[in-house]
Structure 1
């Protein structure tokens, strides 16, 4: 009669561990962990930790596998096989319960094309190529700056136009009678071929950058614009129009737009209309 195996014996635990490793090796699974606990090692599988702990406490050395199998008998071998099957089953369940990757929803090419068409239509006016234009900017003091639109092909303000501007400023305020005008010119498109966009939106951003630089040099409260039409690059005409004045929404200065200097030179009758419009600036200077 075979002697029953003591399940609580440390030797039996070591035998079971050896049997388990033997069965795993026969199935092509090799255990690559140490027999004894390594310093700093993480926790092992609960089915592996107990026999390792028992062998560490009593310092049991491994016997030859053939002797273990012959002495342990069919009970130990059956238990080791059951333990191996349990480990494999738990592994399969863990893999099956892993979350499956979720595929992103397909993007409708038709909807995207419709959206692109709407955006292109809404920005059609800004994407058109902007015609060439030029202006001169004069910063007088913190109260007033003057923007003079130049005729086509004219690089800077002519001598006759400069004299007319000097007379207008002297009539607006006595402080400007002896003031020397410092002219800054802007030309679109830019004279250098930098490969930049040439549409209306690009022109607006470039002019706003030019004005921002002038404002960093000297902030002003009012800007007198001498142009045939209100410049497209100064915003806020419709939102804050009061008695011919409107406030630029970015820089905050008040803008008054009246006739261009070259138009008043060609048609002297326009001088009276322009001077009448400038009366609103006198209390501000």
Structure 2
């Protein structure tokens, strides 16, 4: 047999508030007499005809220990599995964590540029084939004609090696458009500092306009102000001028306006 405190703990775990033993329990508190009384039976017949239950003498009632005082039920704590306890905070943290947005890296652009110097002007020229301009190339002959038409020396000298992008094949280095723009502008600024300031920088070809002038094809035939490089003039590529002769007329109109920039400086000198 178990003691009263342990018995009540078991009954509290089973959520049993009131209970009545069938026999006298050792070490148990006395029972309340009102729990032993049977409830009255309600019938339609007169109350006189209903035989009242005969209560046994108090001496015949088996003495049942009565509890000293009602004790509150013991709360039942059902342990939760450890895996479930650990997973709840983790799930909450995952829900609160914002989704990771992956930005797709832009592929590196591909171009080749050559920096030249003709009198008081510097020229950043797109190399159509990726190789330096040869003396018999149609693109180089056209460039010489443009220089003569603007009053500049028609035999420009090379400044540094050609810039070919991307710089490295593969690898983890960022070689996207922004990296190419920073590299080209830094390269031109350093070469101009070595060779001396110029009155105007020609940007010949879309790659030169895009990565040195931070502009697009809409800027062709216009003057630009580039931070760190000064005044620049956007010119279509040499191959485009060869394939579309109509572009030369618009280029000539813009040239007559822009050439005053270096012609006035030459007269002052």
TM-score (norm 2): 0.51
Q: Secondary structure at the match of 1:128?
A: coil
**2:138 equivalent to 1:148:** no
**2:114 equivalent to 1:129:** no
**2:260 equivalent to 1:283:** yes
Contact 1:236 1:249 in 2 (8 A): no
Report what 2:166 is aligned to.
Answer: 189
User: For each residue in 1:225-274, what CA deviation from the matched residue of structure 2 results, as whole angstroms up to 9, or x when unmatched?
Assistant: 22147732234659xx8x821100232x1111122111112222222222
User: For each residue in 1:28-48, what CA deviation from the matched residue of structure 2 results, as whole angstroms up to 9, or x when unmatched?
Assistant: xxxxxxxxxxxxxxxxxxxxx
Taking only aligned residues, the RMSD between alpha carbons, in angstroms, comes to 3.2
1:162 to 137, 140, 158: 140
Residues 228 and 201 of structure 1, relative CA distance in 2, 3 Å threshold: closer
Q: CA deviation at 1:197?
A: 2.0
User: For each residue in 1:38-64, what CA deviation from the matched residue of structure 2 results, as whole angstroms up to 9, or x when unmatched?
Assistant: xxxxxxxxxxxxxxxxxxxxxxxxxxx
Rg comparison, structure with higher value: 2
Q: CA deviation at 1:130?
A: 2.1
User: For each residue in 1:110-135, what CA deviation from the matched residue of structure 2 results, as whole angstroms up to 9, or x when unmatched?
Assistant: 88857x74xx76xx6xx412221111
Runs of 5+ in structure 2 lacking a partner?
Answer: 1-92, 263-269
2:211 to 226, 230, 233: 233
Q: For 1:112 and 1:207, locate their aligned partners in 2 and report how far apart those are by CA, in whole Å.
A: 40
Q: For 2:97 and 2:242, locate their aligned partners in 1 and report how far apart those are by CA, in whole Å.
A: 54
Runs of 5+ in structure 1 lacking a partner?
Answer: 1-107
Show the 5 A alignment for 1:64-143. 113=98, 117=101, 127-141=105-119, 143=120
- Structure in which a larger fraction of residues adopt helix: 1
Contact 1:237 1:247 in 2 (8 A): no
1:266 to 238, 243, 257: 243
Residues 196 and 279 of structure 1, relative CA distance in 2, 3 Å threshold: same
Residues 230 and 193 of structure 1, relative CA distance in 2, 3 Å threshold: closer
